[in-house]
Structure 1
Amino acid sequence: MSLTGHVYSSGFKLLYIVEGTGTPAIVVGSSLYYSRTFSHNLRNHLNLVFVDHRGFSPPYDCQDTSGFQLDLLVDDIELVRKQLGLDRVMIIGHSGHAFMALEYAKKYPANVSHVVMMCAAPNFSPEGHIAAQRYLNDSVCPERKAVLAKNLARLPQEIEAAPEKAFITYCLLMGPKSWFDYNYDATKLWEGIQVNMAMFDYVWGEVFRDIDITENLERLQAPAFLALGRYDYLVPPPYMWESIRDKFSNLTIRVFEKSSHAPHFEEPDLFDKELIEWLRNT
């Protein structure tokens, strides 16, 4: 059974989808996208609350980046928790959304039981992107690289044809960087989803480029779980965590060997097993 509704925040209309039973878990990002990527089995263990952030919410033409400050995005998560009458929650964030999840757990530690981050690097700095490119260059995968080269050649014209869909277009054409099966077509996962490009340009291009996730890390009280994909070339490689992992008081890292940028979707059985076991032991 699924429950859907909206939370309104400063003129933004945030869609939420609630599915499953068990430990309440807020998944921040696109409610439509993420509700399509987590397994049905996980819904037997978690009460999953998929919620949009402002980048997936109308008005899509909002250009005022002051409305996209990270602190406001974090406060929207708290607004959803309150309006749905949830107590302590697990907070889940994938890719850039992992930063939102972590910052929420720092700001509202009393409301968070567990933090789950997936396919994230400590930041999206220029140095990190260089490392990601080197990680791909060093990999012996000529077929993957050939498909990526074809997609990169298409990217400028497709973005020019539909600039309002640039983020989704980029995600789709970067499939060889973000899926273990480099020919996987994720179009159906993005069906019916719209984005605010000003939000993504600002938050992903500036906020996450400059973020220091170790700031205020002492406020984090909940145990953290970090899921990474061995073939993830979209974000900086796993070794980037080595310099800061010990700054977390309780961090578990799992690298999934047949995954790229979405182990929860690409290896759902193993992902669910590792996550549920971690949840039981923390």
Structure 2
Amino acid sequence: MSDTQHHTAPAGATAAFTALGGNFFRASELTRGPWHPQQQHAGPPIALVSHALEAAAQAHGLQHLARLTANLLRPVPIADMEVRVQEDYVGRNAGHFSAVALADGKELIRATALFQREDDVGLPDGLPGHPLPQAPKTPDASPVQRFPFAHHELGYPDLVETRIAQGRMFAGPSAVWFRMSHPLVQGQLPSPYQRVAVAADSGNGISAILDLSTHVFVNSDLTINLLRKPVGEWVCLDARTHLSSHGGGLAESSLYDEQGLIGRATQSLFVRKRP
């Protein structure tokens, strides 16, 4: 890439990414996360990887993203990115794909995905656990609340609208509705799976039980399992954090749309006291 590799979009950015042609995309300030002013929240770039994986799978008629696992190798800069996709194996009813996201030639995210072919399958009445559970409250019944790290700089809290369905952000178990306020890629409507990916990496934050001023608790991965295709613009994370005394932890989120449960998301946590 040219010397514009670390160009960032103006403050009036209206999408998380702009397609540059080929496999290249330019990140805007709408991807900015809470950890560093020049680094992205992991949700948008994971969603960008999903965007590329979905295109590869759809070429084979595989429409349902059943699982997406993203390994976060390095902090993701607000910069020009390349996303490369590989077909690992495609069968009659399922396909396995992998992808890597890079900036400045460095690998930032490595991901694998399982796609399935959709079909109508009638389910018998009275199955245990069915009908599927609902989110604690609907989006309309949930008050608006911006992320606590929102400030005067454009960032992830401006990319998504958030509403509290249960609990309180960054204060233990909580359920939060997310809706994208801007496109993921300029000029394109986000897919249901991309909407989920943008939100799902926030489970660790919204369910935090440690004080960020005294402890570091970061995730180096995200796995999303979906039992069906989400519908509508809203995605709810009902999230909680579990910690060990040995420096590890797990954040897990039940995922909902307005019709009910759609799946789960998990994040492995690295936990340390600040010096």
Is TM (by shorter chain) over 0.5?
A: no
- Select the structure that is richer in helix: 1
TM-score bin (small chain): under 0.3
Which protein, 1 or 2, shows the higher relative CO under an 8 Å CA cutoff with sep ≥ 6? 1
Output the TM-score relative to the length of structure 1. Answer: 0.26
- Select the structure that is richer in strand: 2
Output the TM-score relative to the length of structure 2. Answer: 0.27
